[in-house]
Structure 1
Amino acid sequence: MPITRNRSAQHKVYIPESARENQYLIAKFELTDQLLEKYASTIVKSDEQPYAEFYEALSADLFEIAESLGLETCYLVANDKFIRVRYSPEKIISQTEQQILFLYNPSYHFGQKAYYDGAKRADKIKILFLTNEDNIRKKSAFFHERVKTAISQYSEKLGLEKDTVRVCDHQHLTYDLFAKEKGDTGTQAHKLRAISDRFSADGITVSDKAEAQTYAIADLPITRRIRNLLEIDKSSEEPYTPLYELISKSLVKSAEQNGLDNCVIIANDLIPVVRSKKDESVSANGELQLLNFTPDEHMIGFAKKWEGDQLVDKVQFVFVASHQNMTSYGYGKFLNQIQQTMRSVSNQLGYKHDEELMPIRFHQHIGFSI
């Protein structure tokens, strides 16, 4: 086999045929006094919900534009909650104090609706566009362009100033690392090119000012078998710390053996939120675990965030890529290293591959302003 082919093969990652693809775009902008003035006739300060009609008017204008561009699933969120999107065979939209969660199947679930608290003036208006394409990853550039057009038209209709709307394109691949052992013998190969490179191949250009973020999250469910790896001393103030330390040591050892030198280990039932920031930090904010990184700098180290007095449903491992992790082919090598690391962890913990799950979600995001 030629050397070039060998090198190319090293940068491909093989994932189960059953891996789920997803794509969605979120646009957000501040709710300014100028925008309120534009829709002043819809705001009745004496009402119990003075802003309800205003939010409905905003959403009506949005949905009209979405319809004209063939965008079937679009939501307006005006309650300052963090938006999460996940696959589900059943359509469910649920809310907590800090989050609004959209569970859906891109093939079957559609909708247009506004979510807001009519009694309050939101800090920001957020718009969520969910894809309903087949071959989501293959058609991601074209969905991106349609949504970008919709946002531009909506921004113009609202009279928003240039570069005041922040847009983020989120793309995921989700699968069970041990799907093959459970009978899913089909595979698909990916080089995991950067979004800008994939879009360029389809003739669509991403702004030079766009910021990219790439990371993967692996989940290790805390089953009864995992709990019983150690005898838990429930009289201790932090009875579960030894279990989390055991798992953490296994992860660090495996990661280093596979050429990975950073990971955030989370065992506190918080939702990890990875963001591009100049100042790196790991901090909790209510229901969310905020992870701030800059792709321009390669983070080295293993951060550990757990509550030793709590038994969590799962331990989460967050691997954040820097520019050093992207080869000329893409991020295939990076995900290969993660898969090898998690297989090693599973072997050390006596995993039953044909029974126990280890979900991996590979994230690629780009953010830019319109």
Structure 2
Amino acid sequence: MPVSSQHKVYLPASARDNQYLLAEFALSDELVARYPASSTEAPYLALYQALSQKLFELADQFGLRNVHLIANGKTPVVRFHQEAYVLQTAEQILFFYNPSYHEAQHSFYDAKVRARKISLLFLATEQPLRSNAAAFHQQVTTLLTELRNRLALAELKIKVRDHQHLTYDLFAKAKGSKESYGYKLRSIDARYKARQAELPAHSALTYVIVNLPLSRRLKEQVKLDLHSSSPYLPLYQHIADHFVSACQQEKLQHLAVLANGLLPLVRNSQFDKSSQGTELQMIGFDPSAKQGQLVSDLQGDKLVEMMQLIIFATPDDQTDLGYGRFMNEVESALRRFAKAVNLQPERDDLTVRFHQHISYHN
């Protein structure tokens, strides 16, 4: 393979792109005191309405067309969809949208409850997203500076997270999607510098999450004893063993295999501890762990619809050109894994999501 090809991964033209920024700050006593309760039934209504109004006025001023205020403690999850939906569960707010044409402004809060923090969600809308990512980031950070000024809170610390991901079916070509594009997958920092957008000191994460639906064909590969206390563990372990083996052959050693029905959130374990809720699971990886890591959570007492397979990139996986080589290794491992568990490219989906995150305090 030519050197230039080694550093490019060719993804199907049908790959879906998403970018969003999440800005969070603690709700201080000082800020609460500025908007006294107008009623005992909704003591925080004036506060949330005032913050929403300031946010949406600034969003209009800076040309940001899909912006939301979240003050109910729920975690936003953003996905591409041809139709716009916002769905809430006990722990999540799920935003489905198409960046090409969906615009919205919403506030989510309970006026009776004082939130621990305020989350501001900015969804990118300017296509092509990757080319416009730096400009979008600058728009948001400029808005945040002006918001801090209007709130007259010079010392307000705002945590900013820039999330970007590409999603595609590994078997898209077998299903008829022949066109593809080459990506070097440069780091966010490198892409922004190329567009004269300097980032402050920040932490960065790059990883891949693979969604594997458990089809009947997969389930039938392992004989299960439904009378045991963990009847599905042999199935999960069978899949996990093939996945880990395929990755190890590509020297991919920072892995997670999950079969618990939870949505994984990947974090740097140097800053965030692993945790688990009723819907979400925070997975911590240490990029500096040279010996590799394997996180396994296989709940053999229940049958899940889908397993999640995670491959975490380390600094060694980033070249001067980007993560193209890393993704070629990931794809090689996944194709070897797919063959080992007898997936059928024409019929089965193996959804791959390439994530890049940065975070810092503004």
Aligned residue number for residue 77 of structure 2: 84
Aligned residue number for residue 113 of structure 2: 120
| CA–CA separation in structure 1 for the residues paired with 2:272 and 2:147 | 34
| CA–CA separation in structure 2 for the residues paired with 1:180 and 1:278 | 39
For normalisation by structure 1, the TM-score amounts to 0.94
Which of these residues, 24, 29, 37, is aligned with residue 28 of structure 1?
A: 24
- Bigger shift: residues 293-302 or 329-338: 293-302
How far the C-alpha of 1:262 sits from its partner, in A, is: 2.0
Kindly report which structure 2 residues correspond to 1:144-155, keeping only aligned pairs within 5 A, or say none. Answer: 144-155=137-148
The 1:298/1:191 distance shift into structure 2, 3 A limit, reads: farther
Check whether the contact 2:210–2:352 (CA below 8 A) recurs between aligned residues. Answer: yes
Aligned residue number for residue 205 of structure 2: 213
Q: Does 1:173 align with 2:169?
A: no
Which of these residues, 351, 355, 363, is aligned with residue 355 of structure 2?
A: 363
1:118 partner amino acid: A
Q: Does 1:160 align with 2:153?
A: yes
| CA–CA separation in structure 2 for the residues paired with 1:223 and 1:53 | 50
Which of these residues, 77, 94, 105, is aligned with residue 87 of structure 2?
A: 94
Check whether the contact 2:272–2:284 (CA below 8 A) recurs between aligned residues. Answer: yes
Q: Does 1:323 align with 2:318?
A: no
| CA–CA separation in structure 1 for the residues paired with 2:187 and 2:148 | 28
Structure 1 residue runs of 5 or longer lacking an equivalent are none
Structure 2 residue runs of 5 or longer lacking an equivalent are none
The 3-state SS of whatever aligns with 2:355 is strand
1:149-182 per-residue CA deviation (whole Å, 9 max, x = no partner) reads 1111112211234460001111110000000000
Check whether the contact 1:92–1:103 (CA below 8 A) recurs between aligned residues. Answer: yes
Kindly report which structure 2 residues correspond to 1:166-315, keeping only aligned pairs within 5 A, or say none. Answer: 166-207=159-200, 209-278=201-270, 282-298=274-290, 300-315=292-307
Aligned residue number for residue 332 of structure 2: 340
The percentage of aligned residue pairs carrying the same residue is 40
- Bigger shift: residues 291-300 or 267-276: 291-300
Counting matched residue pairs gives 362
| CA–CA separation in structure 2 for the residues paired with 1:282 and 1:62 | 32
The 3-state SS of whatever aligns with 2:130 is coil
The 3-state SS of whatever aligns with 1:137 is helix
Check whether the contact 1:94–1:100 (CA below 8 A) recurs between aligned residues. Answer: yes
Aligned residue number for residue 73 of structure 1: 66
For normalisation by structure 2, the TM-score amounts to 0.96
Aligned residue number for residue 37 of structure 1: 33
Q: Does 1:136 align with 2:129?
A: yes
2:115 partner amino acid: A
| CA–CA separation in structure 1 for the residues paired with 2:350 and 2:269 | 29
The 3-state SS of whatever aligns with 2:256 is strand
The 1:279/1:141 distance shift into structure 2, 3 A limit, reads: closer
- Bigger shift: residues 272-281 or 98-107: 272-281
How far the C-alpha of 1:345 sits from its partner, in A, is: 0.9
| CA–CA separation in structure 2 for the residues paired with 1:285 and 1:257 | 33
| CA–CA separation in structure 1 for the residues paired with 2:98 and 2:224 | 40
1:35 partner amino acid: L
Check whether the contact 2:19–2:123 (CA below 8 A) recurs between aligned residues. Answer: yes
How far the C-alpha of 1:231 sits from its partner, in A, is: 2.3
1:247-300 per-residue CA deviation (whole Å, 9 max, x = no partner) reads 011011101111111201000011101112316754422311111234344461
